[in-house]
Amino acid sequence: MNTTTHAIHNFSAGPCILPESVLQQAADAVRDLDGSGLSLIEMSHRSKPFVAIMEEARQLVRTELNLPDRYEVLFLQGGASLGFLTTAMNFIPQEGIMDYAVTGTWAKNALKEAKRVGGAHALTSSEDTGFDRIPALPSHSEADFVHITTNNTIFGTQYQGDPEIDVPMVADMSSDIFSRPVDIEKYACIYAGAQKNMGPAGTVLYIYDRDHIGHTGRDIPSYLDLAVHAAKDSMFNTPPVFAVYTSMLTLRWLRDNGGVAAARERNAAKAACIYGEIDRNPLFNGFAETDSRSVMNATFTAEDEAHTAPFLAACEAAGINGIKGHRSVGGFRASMYNALPLASVEVLVEVMREFERTHG
């Protein structure tokens, strides 16, 4: 497998680490795309080369997630933050309801934006325990749709698979898209900012079931109407060409390295490595409840707060980047997206063990 050769072990929560081969190809394309004599970022988005790039990116999404024909694939802009409003406007009927599972900061923001549209309610929440867990969804909802945020980068929690509920789901999968296979038939829509597990910031992926679109009874502004973008093949306006191209390269890399099934196995091995050390080492405490732990973002704190700064210094000395936890949790956060090799996690574990030897 072609893994990264970064000198730095990059645990950043986002923008994400990318494969070295992808970085090299993307850098080359900025200078000259495939020997065309033109930079990727200066050629027309209507040119044959870029139209082919967009089509390949969309097709790779289809093949890697095994999408039925009725699902549309779009690469748009605005990130998941605009997606909060976009999905609400496209799926909540004027007289209907979308229930929201409030499991973290981004899920809370999604509900806030949806309330501007109307018909958005909290179905369940873990805010009372500091978002340290994923509360179980009921098997039944009276709503038209249920919205979930599949992985929470800040708190390090994640659904341990596709929930079982009797209404179609809308899911923000920004930080775990392509990390595992998905039962797509359970979802009316999936949206995901590229910068967590797919590419650089600048584009957001939408996958939606055409059977669930166009039934809200509301007048949707053109730019927020997913059907408008689908009719223009993701090019209703000028697309973010560099972000789409680099996402396409990452999807090629994913395909060539066994697809999402193989990614799930690699990610499980990395998670087992870090959580095993967190649970064994008396100097550290895991933040998330065990049955809600994220494979993408492991959050943990020092048993003694006085150890936080020296441990961060030890990580920096070992070439470990991006390990400082979000201010909402404190401590540490190890983000282990698809392109992060197991070897980097092993380096972090060795630093933890050495820190125990010197500070325990």
Please identify every residue annotated as catalytic: 106, 172, 196
Q: Are 137 and 143 a contacting pair, CB within 8 Å?
A: no
Where b means 16+ CB within 10 Å and e means fewer, 207-218 reads bbbeebbeebee
The 3-class secondary structure across the chain, one letter per residue, is: CCCCCCCCEECCCCCCCCCHHHHHHHHHHHHCCCCCCCCCCCCCCCCHHHHHHHHHHHHHHHHHHCCCCCEEEEEECCHHHHHHHHHHHHHCCCCCCEEEEECCHHHHHHHHHHCCCCCEEEEEECHHHCCCCCCCCCCCCCCCEEEEECEECCCCEECCCCCCCCCCEEEECCCCCCCCCCCHHHEEEEEEEHHHCCCCCCCEEEEEEHHHCCCCCCCCCHHHCHHHHHHCCCCCCCCCHHHHHHHHHHHHHHHHCCHHHHHHHHHHHHHHHHHHHHHHCCCEEECCCHHHECCCEEEEEECCHHHHHHHHHHHHHCCEECCECCCCCCCEEEECCCCCCHHHHHHHHHHHHHHHHHHC
Q: Are 175 and 153 in contact (CB under 8 A)?
A: yes
**Cα 155 from Cα 104, distance rounded (Å):** 7
Which residue type does 128 have? Answer: D
